Amino acid sequence: MTLIQDPSLKSLILGVLALLVFASVAGWILDRRVSSASARATVDNINARIRAWWLMALLFVVAVSMGTIVSILLFATTSFLALREFVTLAPTRPGDHRALFWSFFVVTPIQYFLIWMQWYGLFSILIPVYVSIFLAIRTALAGDTERFLERSATNQWGLMICVYFVSYVPALLMLRIPGYERQAPALMFFLVLVVQLSDVLQYVWGKTLGSRRIAPSISPNKTWEGLIGGVVSATALGTAIWWATPFSPGAAALMALILTTMGFAGGLIMSAIKRDRGVKDYGTLIGGHGGVLDRIDSLCFAAPVFFHLTRYFYVP
Amino acid sequence: MIDTALASACRLIAGATAEWRCNPDSPAQRIYFGNHSSHLDFVVIWSALPWRRRRHARPVAGGDYWQQGRLRRYLASDVFRAVLVERESSSGDRAERARAAVEQMARAMGQEDSLIVFPEGTRSANGQMGPFKSGLYHLSRARPDAELVPVHLENLNRMLPKGESLPVPMVCRVTFGPVVPACPGERKDAFLERARTAILQLEARA
């Protein structure tokens, strides 16, 4: 076990624990004061979410402090579970079976293995180039042409979102930033923390002040008040922890603003897919939140952008 | 040990969420009957049962498949304690074989075991439930003391379609319905129709 040597990472972890304790106390107070039936349902859901947050935060903190391999395994498992939820909703036919088997048991492990090898050149093109070609061939060979375009495009997008995009989170560990050599785990922590805080804060602002809906046909819960309040407050928090990153305060603010905006867009896109498929949640694995994809939707779309911006501007 | 590991592995691949509309932990002897679309069906039902009930739940399976090879034989006899029956399609007098199979199942339940059966007799190719064979009717008459629990399996046909040997992970749903009450003196066709409808109702509400 690699003990946490980076003092700023230690501070971030303590900060998260403090936040969780605060949330649990707030949830407990809400629980004692609530009276009406509809508010009761909301408060119960909030408390279920907080309990799930404890579990997810502990998993993440343990993985980060155990080092690169465990972090990679955590996100590989996340990809596996997310892809399982995605494929369940996809309009697959028996002709997709072999291609899907490859996606789960060959492509996903190879993608994370490449990240462990730190082979940037291949990890960044494996799924968009080689796998997209190979899986299309495999599906075509199965000979079923019914809705072929829809099926192969859906399966490819599932791999992009659930595996390729998610794998960018542990890929941050391979970045060698001058003057920040041993602190890559803190950079990963910064990404996950800002994106997830933005989700929570958008929810809190939306529940308290929200009235003007952004896209009522996609999600009744996304309001302009929630978006602006969440993005502004999460950006402020991201700026406030600039000392844990290789960024200057100004750059940290800009990064946090991009992350929160991308996170919002990710949530919107993944909600649109859910409406298209006629479901409310991707699954039931995480109490109060829904499925794994419901929780990581914002992370999926923020992680690749964050990785490439950091790599372009900070890695020589 | 092995059965717990196997049940966990099954839940990882099948992500099965079990929904109960009857008491999951009832000590009564039961006949769980479900729609059949893949080789994994009984494993999924078996791993969805509470641990204490799982030890007493014996799947009924085709001997021709489970007696091939050492691994299958070991799994069938030592882990699942499967009741292996001769299929009706084997040679010989069909009615005689069916009667023998029902007798074997009724005996296998003994004093405390439950059975997992698939009354269609064979896997459906497209996920649509076929007609029931008469085995369930004769079994229920041989063991009138057992509770009949309908089980609906969703997505299993997509997880392991007929003709494939490797499963693709899916979020499957297992719904255990309310116990189908016994109607003494009921005719065979009426009973089978009632049992089949019990599963279809779970599908409609799922």
Instruction: Tell me the two tokens of residue A22.
Output: 């605060």
Instruction: Tell me the two tokens of residue A77.
Output: 């498992």
Question: Which range has highest mean pLDDT (A296-305, B47-56, B197-206)?
Answer: A296-305
Tell me the average pLDDT across A4-24: 92
Half-sphere exposure of A167 toward its Cβ, with a 13 Å CA cutoff? 29
* pTM reported for the whole predicted model: 0.89
Instruction: Tell me the two tokens of residue A252.
Output: 């940290």
Do B168 and A81 lie within an 8 Å CB cutoff?
no
Do B168 and A83 lie within an 8 Å CB cutoff?
no
pLDDT at B88 over 70: no
- Between the CA of residue A17 and those of A23, A27, A78, A297, B145, what are the distances in Å? 10, 15, 22, 23, 55
Do B166 and A101 lie within an 8 Å CB cutoff?
yes
CB A279 within 8 A of CB A271: no
Chain A residue closest in CA terms to B172: A88
Give alpha helix (H) positions in B16-118.
41-48, 51-54, 63-66, 70-74, 94-109
The three-class DSSP label of residue A33 is helix
Do A94 and B169 lie within an 8 Å CB cutoff?
no
Tell me the average pLDDT across A128-149: 93
Instruction: Tell me the two tokens of residue A38.
Output: 């509809």
Q: Which of B170, B171, B172, B173 to mutate against chain A (most A CBs within 10 Å)?
A: B171
Q: Which residue has the tokens 């079923």?
A: A144
Q: Which of A88, A98, A154, A159 to mutate against chain B (most B CBs within 10 Å)?
A: A88
Chain B residue closest in CA terms to A102: B168
Instruction: Specify the pairing of strand B17-20 against strand B173-176.
Output: parallel
Do A101 and B17 lie within an 8 Å CB cutoff?
no
Of residues B17, B158, B166, nearest to A284 (C-beta): B17
Torsion, CA A160, CA A163, CA A166, CA A171, rounded to 10: -110
Residue A290 has φ and ψ, to the nearest 5°, of 110, -135
Tell me the average pLDDT across B69-91: 82
For chain B, the C-alpha Rg in angstroms (whole number) is 16
pLDDT at B6 over 90: no
- Residue A140, pLDDT score: 93
Give alpha helix (H) positions in chain A.
7-33, 37-66, 68-89, 97-102, 108-117, 120-123, 132-141, 148-159, 166-171, 184-209, 224-240, 249-277, 292-314
Min distance B74 CA to chain A CA atoms (Å): 26
Percent of chain A with pLDDT over 70: 99
Q: Which residue has the tokens 């993985």?
A: A63
Residue B92: band (very low, low, confident or very high) from pLDDT cuts 50, 70, 90: low
Instruction: With a threshold of 0.85, tell me whether the complex ipTM lies above it.
Output: no
Q: Which of A78, A85, A87 to mutate against chain B (most B CBs within 10 Å)?
A: A87
Round to whole Å and give the CA distance between B2 and A228: 53
Instruction: Specify the pairing of strand B147-154 against strand B173-176.
Output: antiparallel
Helix (H) or strand (E) holding B83: strand B83-85
User: What are the residue ranges spanned by the domains of chain A?
Assistant: 69-174
Tell me the average pLDDT across A182-196: 94
Do A81 and B15 lie within an 8 Å CB cutoff?
yes
Chain A residue closest in CA terms to B161: A94
Report the CATH fold assignment for B2-205. Answer: Glycerol-3-phosphate (1)-acyltransferase (3.40.1130)
CB pairs under 8 A between A and B: 34
pLDDT at A145 over 70: yes
Percent of chain B with pLDDT over 70: 96
- Residue A113, pLDDT score: 98
* Cβ contacts of A185 within 8 Å, gap of 6 or more: A4, A6, A9, A64, A65, A71, A173
Helix (H) or strand (E) holding B8: helix B2-14
CB B7 within 8 A of CB B54: yes
Single out the residue of A240, A263, A246, A271 nearest to residue A177, CA to CA: A246
Cβ neighbours of B161 in A, within 8 Å:
94, 97
CA angle B54, B2, A60 (to 5 degrees): 95
Round to whole Å and give the CA distance between A289 and A287: 6
Q: Which residue has the higher pLDDT, B132 or B95?
A: B132
- Residue B198, pLDDT score: 94
Of residues A85, A88, A97, nearest to B164 (C-beta): A97
For chain A, the C-alpha Rg in angstroms (whole number) is 20
Distance, first Cα to last Cα, chain A? 30
Of residues B158, B163, B168, nearest to A101 (C-beta): B168
pLDDT at B90 over 60: no
CB A56 within 8 A of CB A140: no
Instruction: Tell me the two tokens of residue A292.
Output: 């794994």
- Residue A1, pLDDT score: 45
Round to whole Å and give the CA distance between B60 and B115: 7
- Residue A86, pLDDT score: 95
Round to whole Å and give the CA distance between B48 and B10: 9
The A-side interface with B (CB below 8 A) comprises: 80-81, 83-85, 87-88, 92, 94, 97-98, 100-101, 104, 283-285, 291
Cβ neighbours of A98 in B, within 8 Å:
164
